[in-house]
Amino acid sequence: MPYQPSPSRYADMPYRRCGRSGLKLPAVSLGLWHNFGDVDVLQNFRAILHRAFDSGVTHFDLANNYGPPPGSAETNFGRILKEDFRGYRDELVISTKAGYHMWEGPYGEWGSRKYLVSSLDQSLRRMKLDYVDIFYSHRPDPDTPLEETMGALDHVVRQGKALYVGISNYEPAAAAEAIRILRELGTPCLIHQPKYSMFERGPENGLLDLLGEEGVGCIPFSPLAQGLLTNKYLHGIPDDSRVAKGVGFLTENQLTEQRLRQIQQLNNLAQQRGQSLAQMALSWILRDERITSVLIGASKPEQLTDSLRCLENLPFSAEELARIEAVLG
């Protein structure tokens, strides 16, 4: 039976304006970094996408190298778009990125005009789309002039291949310069995607202030610190975890005694709020009005539903915030 979205899909999801633009994003967006590659189960990630859209999640975030293998997340997403979401493209915000290694040779990564434009062309073919809503420079290139990288972003908008552009993983000084260049080119920077969580506070050192002042949106990734801010590590390192298997970016030496103690203390605070640790961690990010949306991953539909429950209790009292800071030190 063909997929029919829930008629009440917009009932409970709050939508936040992205900076000073006309675009609104759902408070929670779905990232396809993991669990949507050829190594994963098609019917599972089809069910995740259905559950997301049924819940008002309209923004799906990809990158050229998501998989594995690289590119397969876009290919699989494009297949489900064609088969299940054909009549709903105008209800979706689809983003992709380029910046990390994608193909061999000197033109397969970083920030040159050649790489960025070629990569977007490949992404559009994989997803069978005429355009994406947001195209990002995934990381700054130390060897390419920022004017060239931002000029490529401006170029793809003028070509009609992207409606908006953004940056990811840019430190405040580079972000400020990128925002300035794009404004002068006439294609304002819509959004910045930094790594941000209770355990990764870097954006608080000037970046959030910059985005707020410049009217640029913010959509943090890795808000659960690669699973640390979930119930997975409450009692040590489980055998089936990424840490135990030695895959991903999380390593065993990051799980110090102090970190495990913090996880347990934060979990106690979350329970007092009537939330899981993951729900509280997401609510904590969304408490800041400079945050447009928070980017989550999911390995099954139930996990997505559980994360979305963060929206049921967004406010924090001053006392709760002080107790969280005391734990984080």
Q: What is the mean pLDDT of residues 292-298?
A: 98
Taking alpha carbons only, the member of 217, 182, 184 closest to residue 203 is 217
- Calpha distance 270→37 (Å, rounded): 33
Q: What is the mean pLDDT of residues 281-304?
A: 97
Looking at residue 193, the DSSP 8-state letter turns out to be: E
Domain locations in the chain as residue ranges: 15-224+279-319
Which pLDDT value is given to residue 247? 58
pLDDT tens for 129-188 read: 999 999 999 999 999 999 999 999 999 999 999 999 999 999 999 999 999 999 999 999
pLDDT tens for 252-291 read: 777 888 999 999 999 999 999 999 999 999 999 999 999 9
Which pLDDT value is given to residue 139? 98
Q: What is the mean pLDDT of residues 238-249?
A: 64
Which pLDDT value is given to residue 174? 98
- Calpha distance 285→303 (Å, rounded): 18
Identify the helix (H) or strand (E) that includes residue 295: strand 294-296
Confidence label for 34 from pLDDT (cuts 50, 70 and 90): very high
Q: What is the mean pLDDT of residues 61-89?
A: 97
Q: Where are the alpha helices (DSSP H) in the chain?
A: 42-54, 72-84, 113-127, 146-158, 172-185, 207-214, 242-245, 257-272, 277-286, 301-308, 318-328
- Calpha distance 45→32 (Å, rounded): 9
Judge whether residue 124 has pLDDT over 70: yes
Which pLDDT value is given to residue 255? 82
Judge whether residue 241 has pLDDT over 70: no
Candidate from 71-75, 199-203, 239-243, 256-260 with smallest mean pLDDT = 239-243
pLDDT tens for 203-212 read: 999 999 999 9
Q: What is the mean pLDDT of residues 305-310?
A: 98
CATH of region 15-224+279-319: 3.20.20.100
Angle at 164 between CA 163 and CA 165, to 5 degrees: 140
Q: What is the mean pLDDT of residues 100-114?
A: 98
Which pLDDT value is given to residue 78? 98
Mean pLDDT of the chain: 95
Q: How far apart are the first and last CA of the chain?
A: 53
